């Protein structure tokens, strides 16, 4: 039953994330789920959820064509680099990660715009990068709290998930 509850949780998360993306333009609301799965080391769920996230982002047009794959690869890379310096389960880690994501969002949009002959509106890119950087820590706190407060059927299997609060000694 735990597997079905986990699937239901992530499908509900994806639906709520898509609604958030419609309400707050130019953000990736699914990114906090991606971060949470990386923190939980839940790679099995990540394997079926990441292609769904990429397809949805490509379909929504929140990133230029093909940019979603690069975006999630950059997120994964920044997560792995940051994880070497901070405990990945803390708010400070997510805060610094969100600042890096804001800068990466700006850089990726600047990089991908000439490939599609799009004009770059610098102020709009700065605004969307700031919105992404502000949205991530807030949404991460909410989703992490919900994940811990929901019944055990919706939580990850503790036997398969590493302890998030281990020391990085």
- Asked if the structure places residue 51 within a domain, the reply is yes
- Asked if the structure places residue 144 within a domain, the reply is yes
CA separation for the pair 143, 155 (Å, rounded): 12
pLDDT band at 13 (very low <50, low <70, confident <90, very high): very high
- Asked if the structure places residue 40 within a domain, the reply is yes
Mean pLDDT over each residue of the chain, to the nearest integer = 81
pLDDT tens figures, 48-58:
999 998 888 87
- Asked if the structure places residue 46 within a domain, the reply is yes
For 36, residues 6+ apart whose C-beta sits below 8 A from its C-beta are 140, 143, 144, 147
What is the percent of the chain where pLDDT is above 90? Answer: 20
Cα–Cα distances (Å) from 58 to 41, 88, 105, in that order, read 25, 28, 15
Domain that holds residue 150: 2-154
pLDDT band at 154 (very low <50, low <70, confident <90, very high): low
For 87, residues 6+ apart whose C-beta sits below 8 A from its C-beta are 93, 164, 165, 166, 167, 168
- Asked if the structure places residue 17 within a domain, the reply is yes
What is the model's pTM?
Answer: 0.80
- Asked if the structure places residue 161 within a domain, the reply is no
pLDDT tens figures, 66-86:
778 888 899 999 999 998 888
Total count of domains within the chain: 1
Contact 100, 92 (CB under 8 A): no
* Per-residue b or e along 89-104, where b marks 16 or more CB atoms closer than 10 Å to that residue's CB: beeebbebbbebbbeb
């Amino acid at each position: 039953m735990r597997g079905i509850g986990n699937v239901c949780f992530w499908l509900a998360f994806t639906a709520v994330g898509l609604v958030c993306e419609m309400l707050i333009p130019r953000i990736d609301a699914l990114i906090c789920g991606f971060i949470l799965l990386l923190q939980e080391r839940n790679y099995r769920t990540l394997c079926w959820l990441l292609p769904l996230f990429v397809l949805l982002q490509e379909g929504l047009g929140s990133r230029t064509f093909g940019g979603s794959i690069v975006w999630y690869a950059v997120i994964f890379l920044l997560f792995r680099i940051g994880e070497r310096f901070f405990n990945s389960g803390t708010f400070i880690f997510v805060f610094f990660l969100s600042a890096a994501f804001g800068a990466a969002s700006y850089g990726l949009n600047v990089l991908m715009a000439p490939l599609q002959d799009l004009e770059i509106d610098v102020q709009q890119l700065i605004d969307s990068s700031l919105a992404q950087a502000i949205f991530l820590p807030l949404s991460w706190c909410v989703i992490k709290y919900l994940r811990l407060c929901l019944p055990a059927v919706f939580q990850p299997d503790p036997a398969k998930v590493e302890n998030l609060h281990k020391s990085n000694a």
